[in-house]
Structure 1
Amino acid sequence: MGKLVGIYLRISDDREGRELGVERQEQDCRKLAASEGDTVVDIYKDNDIGASTRSKKPRPDYKRLLADAKRGRIQKITSYTSNRLTRRPREHEGQIELAETYGTEFRYVASPSFDLNTAAGRRIARILAANDAGEAEDISERVCREKLQALERGEWIGGARPFGYQGTIRDAYGNVINREEVGIKVIEHEAAMIKDAVQRVISGESLYAICQRWTASGVPTPRGSARWYPATLKRILTRPRNAGLMEHRGVVLENVKAIWPSIITDDEYLAVRSILLDNEHRTSYRGSRSLKWLGTNLYRCDVCSDLMRSAGISSSGSGGEKHAAYRCKHGLHLAVRAAPIDSIVNTYVCARLIKHGANLIEVPDGDAVDLRTQATSLRTRIRELEDMLGDGELSRAAFLRQRNKIILKLDEVNTDLASRASSSVLSGVADAPNPAEVFMNPELTPIERRRAIVDALCTVTILKGKKGRKPRHLEGDYRDRIHIEKKDAA
């Protein structure tokens, strides 16, 4: 009499799984069930999940399979091989308990089938379990060695598809197509999005505004989501891979060059990381969802030197008409209307743009070249120290002392390079034929970038108003409520 069968399918990254694929496993298991007169009740599938002691991923369908066997929904479990079910000795013991307690049978297409209700069958199962676990650990050690060697060669060692680069593509049988292009080949339209976003961040635009643009473009995230979020975008824009650098466990490998093409330059990479990861640049307006006023979290209070926030205040008591204003964050030190203050700041910035134009963004190329040369020399010195430590010519204490000094200097050079790349906040505006018109046009220069330009050209401080009522003709004059200090953008 036939049995009620549950077929378990699993594919992992080992050779067997790639060659067979879950579809072919299912076909062979169904043939075996039909040849024995069994009825297939359900298919249980865990795709691309390992079953060894080293695997950390849960197997939801394996758990469902065992639960269905315990409640009598299935009487027999069929799989392609015994190690498709598991490579873990503890789970083998669970299968033995399932057979002894519930009478569940196990059948395999390409592995010996044995009766777990007999001592001989349990002995064979345990021997195979130990062998499968040992084989899995051998595979794990070999894979670790191969990954370390691949890192030293600058190769991609796998993981989630990096946005901007080709991901893994499999055929119907689970075989990887064009394996040599995985993680290496640039996807041009995604790379163009990264380049554009990096320039927008450097120019002062917020991550939220860029995410809105990316979501509207219809290009999904690497995980297939239609909506982009600032945290996801930030991870993509600040990864070393974009500049052709190797990263392992959060550390950039200084002496290894990646084999894949870079999407952005080293200077752009340093600049975008400086903006998005440096605490000094983590001002709230970069992620604001409703930026309307130029000076929010940009202008400073003359009383406490803290940043000002925007708020609505009444023009005359509680019943008066409300208008936008800047208030001190820490209390009621002072408050001032937003529109006339912004008008004064806009006038000042436009005047500087018209007067100095492209001179505001001139950065001597020779200086940047010298800094890159200096950075390369410092990295070479670190590698020389590592060799001296390995050859026993240098003690570990001396190595650490000298290396730390060089790293501090390298950080200074990288910061300088980043600031030079960040000077492009003025590019396209200061060097335009009519820079003031471009600056004031919200379509050409979004408010995030206008704020960044203001921040690059001046420091704005809001002053306390003088006591007493102003003459009627001076009521709209707010020049005595603002102090603008010039910055040298270049």
Structure 2
Amino acid sequence: MSANVNDIAREYLRVSKDSSGRARSVTEQHTDNESAAESNGWTLGEPYADNDRSASRYATKVRGDFKRLLEDLETGRFGAGVLIIWEPSRGSRRNSEWAAFLDLLRDQRVKVHVTSHGRTYDPTNARDMRNLQEDGVDSEYESAKISARSTRAHREHAVAGKPTGRTPVGYVRTYDPQTRRFVSQDPDPETAPMIKELFDRIAAGHSLRSIALDFEARGYVNGKGTPYTIQHLRTLARSWAYTGLRVHIPGRTPSTNTNVIHRPDVQLTEATWEPLVSRETFYAVQNILDDPARLVARPARAAHLLSMIAKCDVCDDVLTVRFAASEKRQPSYACRKSAHVRVIESDLDEVAEAVIVGYLAREDLEATIDAKKNPGEDLQTIRDEIATLRRRLDDLADDTSLSERVLSRRAAALEKELNDLIEREKAASTPAVLRGLIEPGKGAELRWKALPLEVKRQVARILLSPDLIGELRVTRSPDSRPCDASDRIIWRRS
């Protein structure tokens, strides 16, 4: 290696996420490394730097510049005789990775200057190599201790119902001004009403897209100062934190926004903070978000009440809207693939809406829907049974007296029973889109008129089904003569 190359040093800078303020920042490391280079007569070349990147085996983010450093060493592009690092743990906290890194430095005959040691090591020297290898073992051991302490703290916080991670939107946290210890998590007067509105509107059938557009128009922004996206609102609607429950999944990074409603290993603890939404509303919202048949269409596509809902009684295909070439002719519903039936859109809408409103005005509507959906099922009883089964699974996992074979067989049986109960819970839940519309009396008509079209379509899709009002099917006109839309409708019921 030429003399001028030996006079050049390059540095690798890294810092993990540091909330304590005690770690050396990338800038501080560079300042110290620069002084070391000057003292040794080295010219500093282009640095490698990974900010907010862990080097432990628990890391989830790729260290881009460390990867580039390895590639440059392997291909001969490193172009320096010395690598400067502030301390060995900046290189790696994984012993296997550190050992391979040292082998590469030795093979390329690149020395390592550790600024915090005030010393330059030569990997080709057996004693220096041993010292560097021991530093790698110490770094991994320290990383494992930190992880164990963190896991233990998360578990203890979960049992105590204390919050973890970022403060959820809708809450503010108070800390002791002297010790900086957590004091309480309380509803935020500014953002808590938005969270309550989000859940209420999803439960009432509003799409996430329409809510996002409305929130943006009203000036609601997230912590970054940008409007809430559909995905962000979905994540908020999945958060158990708003029910006053603390979520803990053993072996996983703590999160309040994990969709864990059906996980058998989830541990839910009564939290120390006030809930923003009722658990009944939360469960209803989860059922809506979990529904595979749920439509997330663009608002512009929801322009016709019965499109893709009403059916042709001749070919069994759905009806869609057709626009005639003549402006004098009104838009019509027609079967999608053929021309078996055609009916003026406004005429069919008028008949369907009258039937739907009349059905919504029934005083026995809720009981009727519950009975048709799942006769005799009590929702609270099912949820209590689900909670009991989850506790039994937790107790089973802690039972050391059972063999692995017996434990596996019993756990499988309990999980099957749990999954069956979850399906019964879904079936027993009243369709959340009908909330606020099922009150008896004349008010149903006014509430229906006030609904946005996308919600009307969701209500129509639920009610115009064989087990409720009946499937709306359109027949051909008798003798091919014009007649009222009501005379061409068949309500097919199960």
Q: Which bin holds the TM-score, normalised by the shorter protein?
A: 0.7 to 0.9
Deviation at 1:438, TM superposition (A): 4.6
Paired with 1:272 and 1:57, the residues of 2 have a C-alpha distance of 33
1:480 aligns with one of 487, 490, 493: 487
2:121 aligns with one of 82, 89, 114: 114
Q: Return 344-353 or 83-92, whichever deviates more.
A: 344-353
Paired with 2:27 and 2:218, the residues of 1 have a C-alpha distance of 35
- Shift of the 221–46 alpha-carbon distance from structure 1 to 2, 3 Å rule, reads farther
Q: Is 1:203 matched with 2:210?
A: no
The letter for the 1-side match of 2:89 is N
TM-score by length of 2: 0.73
Deviation at 1:87, TM superposition (A): 2.2
Deviation at 1:340, TM superposition (A): 2.0
- Shift of the 359–141 alpha-carbon distance from structure 1 to 2, 3 Å rule, reads same
Deviation at 1:57, TM superposition (A): 2.0
Aligned to 2:182: 180
The DSSP-based 3-state class of the residue aligned with 1:284 is coil
- Shift of the 385–128 alpha-carbon distance from structure 1 to 2, 3 Å rule, reads closer
2:449 aligns with one of 440, 445, 461: 440
The letter for the 2-side match of 1:372 is Q
Q: Is 1:284 matched with 2:295?
A: yes
- Shift of the 63–403 alpha-carbon distance from structure 1 to 2, 3 Å rule, reads closer
Paired with 1:290 and 1:138, the residues of 2 have a C-alpha distance of 56
Aligned to 1:273: 286
1:359-407 Cα offsets, whole Å, 9 max, x none, are 75699xxxx9x85366336634663686588386996556764675466
Aligned to 2:384: 376
The DSSP-based 3-state class of the residue aligned with 1:326 is strand
Aligned to 2:66: 62
Q: Is 1:451 matched with 2:457?
A: yes
- Equivalent pair of 1:207/1:287 in contact (CA under 8 Å): no
Q: Return 47-56 or 226-235, whichever deviates more.
A: 226-235
1:90 aligns with one of 83, 93, 97: 97
The letter for the 2-side match of 1:449 is V
The DSSP-based 3-state class of the residue aligned with 1:9 is strand
The DSSP-based 3-state class of the residue aligned with 2:268 is strand
Aligned to 1:174: none
Deviation at 1:155, TM superposition (A): 4.5
The DSSP-based 3-state class of the residue aligned with 1:8 is strand
- Equivalent pair of 2:199/2:237 in contact (CA under 8 Å): yes
TM-score by length of 1: 0.73
The letter for the 2-side match of 1:45 is A
- Equivalent pair of 2:332/2:343 in contact (CA under 8 Å): yes
The letter for the 2-side match of 1:198 is F
Aligned to 2:255: none
The DSSP-based 3-state class of the residue aligned with 1:257 is strand
The DSSP-based 3-state class of the residue aligned with 1:419 is coil
Deviation at 1:412, TM superposition (A): 3.0
Paired with 1:20 and 1:421, the residues of 2 have a C-alpha distance of 53
How many residues were matched structurally?
A: 457
- Equivalent pair of 2:307/2:319 in contact (CA under 8 Å): yes
Aligned to 1:257: 269
Paired with 2:425 and 2:234, the residues of 1 have a C-alpha distance of 23
Aligned to 1:172: none
Paired with 1:196 and 1:464, the residues of 2 have a C-alpha distance of 43
Paired with 1:98 and 1:399, the residues of 2 have a C-alpha distance of 51
1:450-479 Cα offsets, whole Å, 9 max, x none, are 2234446544513112243436xx5xx322
Q: Is 1:346 matched with 2:353?
A: yes
Aligned to 2:341: 334
Paired with 1:219 and 1:39, the residues of 2 have a C-alpha distance of 52
- Shift of the 300–109 alpha-carbon distance from structure 1 to 2, 3 Å rule, reads same
- Shift of the 188–76 alpha-carbon distance from structure 1 to 2, 3 Å rule, reads farther
Deviation at 1:58, TM superposition (A): 0.9
The DSSP-based 3-state class of the residue aligned with 1:292 is coil
Paired with 1:459 and 1:131, the residues of 2 have a C-alpha distance of 72
The letter for the 1-side match of 2:387 is R
The letter for the 2-side match of 1:130 is V
For structure 1, list consecutive stretches of 5 or more residues without a partner in the other structure.
170-176
Aligned to 1:173: none
Aligned to 1:236: 236
Aligned to 2:85: 79
For structure 2, list consecutive stretches of 5 or more residues without a partner in the other structure.
253-259, 369-375, 464-468
The letter for the 2-side match of 1:139 is I
The letter for the 2-side match of 1:256 is L
The RMSD of aligned alpha carbons is 4.6
Q: Is 1:136 matched with 2:143?
A: yes
- Shift of the 4–393 alpha-carbon distance from structure 1 to 2, 3 Å rule, reads closer
1:122-160 Cα offsets, whole Å, 9 max, x none, are 2221222233233333433444444444444444554x7
